[in-house]
Amino acid sequence: MIYLDYAASSPLCEEALQTLMTMSRDVYANASSLHDGGGQAAHILERSRAFVAGLIGGEPDRLFFTSGGTESNLLAIQGLARSLPAERRHVLVSALEHHSVKLAANGLVELGYEVELIWPDARGRITPERIEPLLRPDTGLVSVQHANSETGLVQPLAEIGTFLREKGILLHTDAVQSFGKIGFSVDELGVDALSISSHKVQGPKGVGAVYIRPGATYASVYPESLHEGGFRPGTVNVPAIAAFAASAVHTCGLIEQRTEQYVSLRTYLTERFREYELPAYVVTDRLPGNERNILPHIAGCAGLGYEGQYVMLECNRKGLCISTGSACSSGHQDIPDTLTALGLSAGEGHSFFRISFGPHTTTQHLDRLVQALHELAQTK
């Protein structure tokens, strides 16, 4: 099997695997217990918290572990919104968000908040200029993803953060795809809350985190919770959290090296498309302008002339794992808002498929992929 779906999930790195096995065997006590076993688990938990917070330039006591990116987005968005005064119940969410952010926003509507979408410009960017016309006196919260999971487009959060901070409006970002792929700090981004996930950085599934800026208020979605400083309920999974910390430290330490690898692979892929005279193309390569800030490991493609899901199934038949976008939306036939916003036609949107690289991806893997796509194109 050739795996080219790292944006959906990644295999455990050796550091995470060894940590998970060791901690599962040796640190099994409940971190809330008052005996020595509990104290040992609590120590590992806080060490892990410090490691992960340090990777984003944050304060450890403002980082809360969760069950993953989806819960992180839910708790961050709803926690910030619930802390807003009654006269600030207007929320803006970018149209490019992951399904979990849209679910969190829908939950706010049910609670009486008003939610509006922010659509990007022709380059796929959410900018202060796109946000400003939508602002109202009652706007209290904005959520804009750091990087898109389908196309890899990175948003100018620092500009947005500065703009909103001056107006006293909170900013949340879903940084699940960008964490461990590009370097950043919470101060540089100017966000009030940030969501990340373990399995995107070669850690175990079922673990994530929310960071909330010191000074930013939030209200727990689960009042009177006793774990994670009252942020969420449930016994803390210390072994998985420790493995998350190990994988995050490992992955973040290799950002520069892997960026070079992924950029080279992306260039190689587009060259092979041309050599085989395939109609497929990377959608971000066709955006207007020269300033394209894109995650190096994602290549969202279209134009082959077949439904993206059919392309994925044909590749799977030949031992190649690719995707048609976010795994959390798999099985849905609607064109992602991301692609519609970039101006793709209905046909182009339906033909979309995504390739995403990881540390084990080679040019030989891409040769196999392009050959499979070429064989498919020949059947038309």
Q: Is the pLDDT of residue 329 over 70?
A: no
Name the domain boundary from 202, 220, 252: 252
171 & 311 share domain = no
Shared-domain flag, residues 94 and 106: yes
Residue 7: what residue type? A
Beta-carbon-side half-sphere exposure of residue 84 (alpha carbons within 13 Å): 27
pLDDT confidence tier of residue 292, bands split at 50, 70 and 90: low
> What is the pLDDT averaged over residues 150-162?
96
300 shares a domain with 195: no
Candidates 172, 171, 125, 158; CA nearest to 289 is: 125
Please compute, for residue 267, the number of CA atoms within 13 A of its CA located in the half-sphere on the CB side.
Answer: 6
Which of the residues 252, 301, 315, 328 is marked catalytic?
328
Domain endpoint, select from 236, 252, 268: 252
By three-state DSSP, how is residue 232 classified? strand
* Residue 178, domain CATH: 3.40.640.10
| Together in a domain, 65 and 99 | yes
Same domain, 70 and 136: yes
Percent of the chain with pLDDT over 70: 96
- b/e map 306-344, b = 16+ CB within 10 Å: bbbbebbebbeeeebbbbbbbeebeeeeebbbbbbbbeb
Instruction: Report pLDDT for 173.
Output: 98
The CATH number given to whatever domain includes residue 348 is 3.90.1150.10
Confidence of residue 289 (pLDDT cuts 50, 70, 90): low
**What is the chain's alpha carbon radius of gyration, rounded to the nearest angstrom?**
21
Of the pLDDT bands very low, low, confident and very high (cuts 50, 70, 90), residue 226 is: confident
pLDDT band at 342 (very low <50, low <70, confident <90, very high): confident
Positions of E strands within the chain: 2-3, 63-66, 90-94, 114-118, 139-143, 170-174, 193-197, 208-212, 281-282, 298-302, 320-321, 353-356
- Both 74 and 126 in a single domain? yes
Is the domain of 79 the same as that of 139?
yes
Boundary-marking domain end, from 205, 220, 252: 252
- Say whether pLDDT at 124 is over 90: no
- E strand spans, 63-102: 63-66, 90-94
- Give the pLDDT of residue 326: 55
Residues 277, 238 share a domain: no
Q: Can you give the pLDDT at residue 11?
A: 97
Can 328 be counted among the known catalytic residues? yes
- Of 212-216, 287-291, 352-356, least confident by mean pLDDT is 287-291
Task: Look at residue 272 and tell me whether its pLDDT is greater than 80.
Answer: yes
Nearest to 56 by CA among 172, 182, 170: 182
Residues 76 and 171 in one domain: yes
What's residue 339's pLDDT? Answer: 82
pLDDT-derived band of residue 291, with 50, 70 and 90 as boundaries?
low
d(CA 247, CA 272): 32
- Confidence at residue 24, expressed as pLDDT on a 0 to 100 scale: 97
Bridge partners, residue 320, by sequence: 2
Asked if 258 and 233 sit in the same domain, the reply is no
331, pLDDT greater than 60: no
Domain count for the chain, please give it.
Answer: 2
Residue 347 pLDDT grade (very low, low, confident, very high; cuts 50, 70, 90): confident
- Cα–Cα distance between 126 and 344 in angstroms, integer? 17
Give the number of other CB atoms < 10 A from CB of residue 167: 11
% of the chain exceeding 90 in pLDDT? 85
**What does the alpha-carbon distance between residue 7 and residue 298 come to, in Å, rounded to a whole number?**
7
The pLDDT of 154-182, averaged and rounded, is 97
Residues paired with 170 in a beta bridge: 141
Q: Which structural domain range is residue 278 located in? A: 2-9+254-378
Predicted TM-score (pTM) of the model is 0.94
What is the reported pLDDT for 357?
Answer: 98
Give mean pLDDT, residues 46-63.
98
Domain match, 77 and 146 both: yes
Structure token pair of residue 379: 């059947």
Strands 63-66 and 208-212: antiparallel
What are residue 212's DSSP bridge partners? 193
How far is 106 from 29, CA to CA, in rounded Å? 38
Q: Poorest-confidence range of 150-154, 197-201, 247-251?
A: 150-154
Task: Looking at the structure, tell me whether residues 353 and 275 fall in a common domain.
Answer: yes
